[in-house]
């Protein structure tokens, strides 16, 4: 029910996290994509960015992860989705997770 999209549009820094119940970033992403208030909805790419790149910058400003770039840590999730698909990724669409440069999940 948070008005995150409004805060972001107003330039207020917002990072998403999954340290509360339920502990599932995909649930949070889907919640933003399907927000009960249509004016607060965002596409899944933006919601995912607030769980990854933006959250990394909040915790470790100038850190070595949060983006896929040369010299950054290889932490990433790979979803089976078409980039312009309006639906949020699901657990079933998660194909690969790399953390600390190692594959920790593969489907």
pTM (two decimals): 0.70
Query: For 4-30, what is each residue's pLDDT tens digit?
Result: 999 999 999 898 887 765 677 888 888
Quote the pLDDT of residue 85.
64
- What is the three-state SS of 43-85? CHHHHHHHHCHHHHHHHCCCCCCCCCCCCCCCCEEEECCCCCC
- CA pair distance 88, 61, nearest whole angstrom: 27
State the residue range of the domain holding 64. 4-106
Number of domains in the chain: 1
Quote the pLDDT of residue 11.
94
Residues of the chain with pLDDT under 70: 20-22, 65-67, 74, 81-88
Quote the pLDDT of residue 67.
66
């Amino acid at each position: 029910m948070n008005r995150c999209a409004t805060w972001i549009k107003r330039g207020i820094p917002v990072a998403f996290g999954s340290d509360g119940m339920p502990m599932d970033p995909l649930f949070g992403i889907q919640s933003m994509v399907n927000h009960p208030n249509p004016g607060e909805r965002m596409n899944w790419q933006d919601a995912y960015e607030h769980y990854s790149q933006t959250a990394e910058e909040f915790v470790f400003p100038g850190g070595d992860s949060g983006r896929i770039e040369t010299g950054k840590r290889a932490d990433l999730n790979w979803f089976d989705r078409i980039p312009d698909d309006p639906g949020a990724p699901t657990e079933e669409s998660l194909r690969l997770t790399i953390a600390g440069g190692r594959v920790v999940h593969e489907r």
